[in-house]
């Protein structure tokens, strides 16, 4: 199987798993996914397609450089955004259109070590992201496996208009995160919206999504018994740098 075909097969499987209705991560056409083919191209979910029924026709192959240029360029009207997305398709004869969130997928796939991206709207995560205290509570870590699989910190993006404005604001927050943490984020939380998992493999994205949804469920439940007892920054740093935990992190890949 060619690399290109293999990446698409992995993306389809990841998308179907994330779209499984029993997991409460997305319903209908919610969420989108992407995978990097090489430095020039990537696959992204087409607008209107459902993750749970993903197949070869659910994805559009898009050229990376023009999307990154649009992202770095001037403000565009909705019509101009649509035109830019349409022109970025590798196959101009194809009828399907890339998701409006193609800009943020392109940016994340241009970062080191990120080859697959999965964006979902999990009930547990959105219960937090739609609450008044979301900005404070997402700063704490609750248990070791959350740190091992999702990293010592998450990147938080305040609510902003979807599409190009969101992608630009997300890029700013991710750049700040990388300056502080010296690595790209594994978990990005978009306020009043949802979760993005960034991984080197399709399996990484599934594992990060599952573990962060678990952490979100645990966080909500802690309020029944007086609220969360977050690990201290020293405890978080210790888990993040332990040699045996490093081994576990690589085993998910």
Which positions touch Zn ion (CB under 5 A)? Answer: 194
Two tokens, residue 36: 């990097």
Considering the complex, what minimum distance in angstroms separates the CB of residue 19 from Zn ion? Answer: 13
Considering the complex, what minimum distance in angstroms separates the CB of residue 180 from Zn ion? Answer: 25
Nearer to Zn ion by Cβ, of 19 and 194: the residue is 194
CA distance 243 to 148: 11
Closest of 14, 183, 35, 203 to residue 109, by C-alpha: 35
Per the CB < 8 A criterion, the answer to whether 125 and 115 are in contact is: no
Query: For residue 63, what are the CA distances in angstroms to 37, 38, 69, 150, 170?
Result: 10, 10, 11, 29, 20
Nearer to Zn ion by Cβ, of 194 and 199: the residue is 194
Considering the complex, what minimum distance in angstroms separates the CB of residue 194 from Zn ion? Answer: 5
Nearer to Zn ion by Cβ, of 38 and 78: the residue is 78
Considering the complex, what minimum distance in angstroms separates the CB of residue 26 from Zn ion? Answer: 8
Give the number of other CB atoms < 10 A from CB of residue 176. 11
Burial of 195 (0-12, 13-18, 19+ CB in 10 A): buried
Considering the complex, what minimum distance in angstroms separates the CB of residue 104 from Zn ion? Answer: 10
133-164 b/e (C-beta count within 10 Å ≥ 16 → b): ebeebbebbbebebbbbbbbbbbbbeebeebb
Considering the complex, what minimum distance in angstroms separates the CB of residue 99 from Zn ion? Answer: 9
CA distance 92 to 253: 34
Nearer to Zn ion by Cβ, of 152 and 194: the residue is 194
CA distance 2 to 151: 32
Per the CB < 8 A criterion, the answer to whether 10 and 116 are in contact is: yes
């Amino acid at each position: 199987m060619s690399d290109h075909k293999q990446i698409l097969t992995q993306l389809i499987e990841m998308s179907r798993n994330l779209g499984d209705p029993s997991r409460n991560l997305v319903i209908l056409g919610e969420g989108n996914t992407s995978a990097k083919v090489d430095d020039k191209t990537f696959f992204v979910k087409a607008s209107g397609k459902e993750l749970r029924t993903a197949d070869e026709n659910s994805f559009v192959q898009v050229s990376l450089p023009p999307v990154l240029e649009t992202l770095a360029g001037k403000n565009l009207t909705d019509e101009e955004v649509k035109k830019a997305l349409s022109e970025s398709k590798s196959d101009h004869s194809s009828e399907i259109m890339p998701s409006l969130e193609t800009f943020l997928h392109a940016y994340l796939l241009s970062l080191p070590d990120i080859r697959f991206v999965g964006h979902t709207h999990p009930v547990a995560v959105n219960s937090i992201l739609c609450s008044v205290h979301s900005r404070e509570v997402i700063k704490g870590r609750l248990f070791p496996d959350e740190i091992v699989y999702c990293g010592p910190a998450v990147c938080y993006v305040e609510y902003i208009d979807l599409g190009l404005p969101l992608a630009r604001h997300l890029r700013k927050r991710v750049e700040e995160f990388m300056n502080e943490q010296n690595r790209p984020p594994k978990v990005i939380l978009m306020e009043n919206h949802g979760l993005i998992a960034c991984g080197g493999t399709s399996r990484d994205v599934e594992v990060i999504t599952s573990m962060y949804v678990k952490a979100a469920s645990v966080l909500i439940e802690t309020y029944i018994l007086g609220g969360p007892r977050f690990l201290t920054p020293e405890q978080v740093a210790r888990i993040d740098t332990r040699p045996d935990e490093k081994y576990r992190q690589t085993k998910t890949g």
